[in-house]
Amino acid sequence: MIALGPLDLKSNLFLSPLAGYTNLPFRLVVRELGGLDLATTDLVNARSLLERNPKALKLIETNDQDRPLAVQLFGSVPEEMRDAALMLQERGVSAIDINMGCPVKKVCRVGGGSAMMTELGRTAGLVRTMVNALRIPVTAKMRLGWDEQNLTAPDLASALEDAGIAAVFVHGRTREQGFSGRVNLAGIRDVVRAVRRVPVIGNGDVTTPEAARHMFAETGCAGVSIGRGAFYDPWIFRRTHQLLRTGVVPPEPSFTDRVAVMCRHLDLMVTVFGEKHGCVMFRKVAPWYSKRFGPASEFNKPVVQLASRAQFHELLEKYLRWRAQFCDESGDLSPRYRPGPMSASFMEPSASPPSALRDVIPVPRGPVEVW
């Protein structure tokens, strides 16, 4: 369906890296629901991998069901990036993605992330060093540029194509924009037009199958990558394929299905990270699920103190009893309590204020707020 260099993929929909979230448990949850082929790890520091730093090694933890897998690397020393990529190739990783669009200060300071986008020649050299040493494809993830005056992504994508990159993932915002404002589809289209053969994968604010279809149609991109939208709807990959194939929008997952998947996610977190740590990590994951539950204060309050699997099931039972007051006789949420439909920034009328758009798909609070 789509090829990244030598790697043939069954799906042109991708899971975007979300540091702290796109770990093995979440990737497995989404894969089990279908529609996704290549998934990516959170970004990993190349040097830390070479130093066999335990935290970095945990970030690349995978298993046989988690295939094909790309690892996203960041760093600016070509030899380190190459050697880390070689190590990953030996371990059976299917592709290496280079982070060029991460606006977190820690990453920019060492010359990785968005800083790379302003230094075309150096970045192309880094890619060439990696491509020449590897059998597996190397891809790049970038934003449109540093700011509105410096939309460097088309030039960068073209230079990287010459350097042997196998695909370009582009988030349709600038570094200066952070996560605010609208995703710029024309900007993504310019990147598509700037390359000759390599697939360009569009990204940003895709929260519904219709939004994915719109991004394909407006930009001519070869694939769409979905990050936060996969949290609100882990079925989004399967549902988008259904829409593209049949023209019919599949129904949203039911509340019961959402709860079942959330429980599966916790079980996998406990398996991979151990009960204590898995539960602590799940404190920030569960509220993403509950965004689509309707009234959820009685779920969100106790879940931030989650410490064990048994406690989770207890609080869930309590919540289900509390939530019943908002439901009709058939057990469905009464219409006035149902969460509004999801919509992507680029599907909103252009007169809508950017702040309102931002609320539609929030960036979680905490250190990741500046991503």
Catalytic positions, written as ranges: 102
Here's the x/- map for ligand FMN, 83-122, by CB under 6 A: it reads as ----------------x-xx--------------------
Closest distance between ligand FMN and the C-beta of residue 327, in Å? 31
Q: How far is the CB of 196 from ligand FMN (least distance, A)?
A: 24
* CA distances in angstroms from 370 to 247, 268, 362, 366, listed in the order given: 37, 28, 12, 9
| Stretch near ligand FMN under the rule CB under 6 A, chosen from 2-10, 208-216, 221-229, 268-276 | 221-229
Q: Which two tokens stand for residue 170?
A: 């582009």
Place of tokens 């194509």: 161
Cβ closer to ligand FMN: 14 or 299? Answer: 14
Q: Is 328 helix (H, G, I), strand (E, B) or coil?
A: coil
Q: Which is nearer to ligand FMN, 317 or 369 (CB)?
A: 369
Binding mask 22-41 for ligand FMN (x = CB under 6 A): --------------------
Residue closest to ligand FMN (Cβ) = 227
Q: How far apart are CA 10 and CA 17, in angstroms?
A: 19
Residue 185 or 226: the one with the smaller Cβ distance to ligand FMN is 226
In angstroms, give the least distance from the CB of 31 to ligand FMN: 17
The binder of ligand FMN chosen from 30, 134, 144, 226 (CB under 6 A)? 226
- Which 273-332 residues touch ligand FMN, going by CB under 6 A? none
Q: What is the DSSP letter of 39?
A: E
Torsion of CA 307, 368, 106, 113, to 10 degrees: 130
Say if residue 193 is exposed, middle or buried (CB neighbours under 10 Å; 0-12, 13-18, 19+): middle
Phi, psi of 235 (to 5 degrees): -90, 0
Number of H helices, E strands in the chain: 16, 10
The one among 2, 7, 13, 16 contacting ligand FMN by CB under 6 A: 16
Mask: binding to ligand FMN, 144-183, rule CB under 6 A, as x and -? ---------------------------x------------
Is 203 a residue that touches ligand FMN (CB under 6 A)? yes
Give me the residues paired with residue 201 across strands: 169, 223
Interface residue with ligand FMN, options 228, 239, 241, 265 (CB under 6 A): 228
Measured from the CB of residue 307, what is the shortest distance to ligand FMN in angstroms? 23
Angle at CA of residue 92, ends 89 and 94, nearest 5°? 75
Scanning 29-37, 186-194, 226-234, 274-282 for contacts with ligand FMN by CB under 6 A, the matching segment is 226-234
Distant-in-sequence contacts of 306-311, Cβ < 8 A, 24+ apart: 306/279, 306/280, 306/282, 307/276, 307/279, 307/280, 308/275, 308/276, 308/279, 309/266, 309/267, 309/270, 309/275, 309/279, 311/279
364 sits near ligand FMN (criterion: CB under 6 A): yes
Residues that bind ligand FMN (CB under 6 A): 16-20, 42-43, 72, 99, 101-102, 141, 171, 203-206, 226-229, 361, 363-364, 368, 371
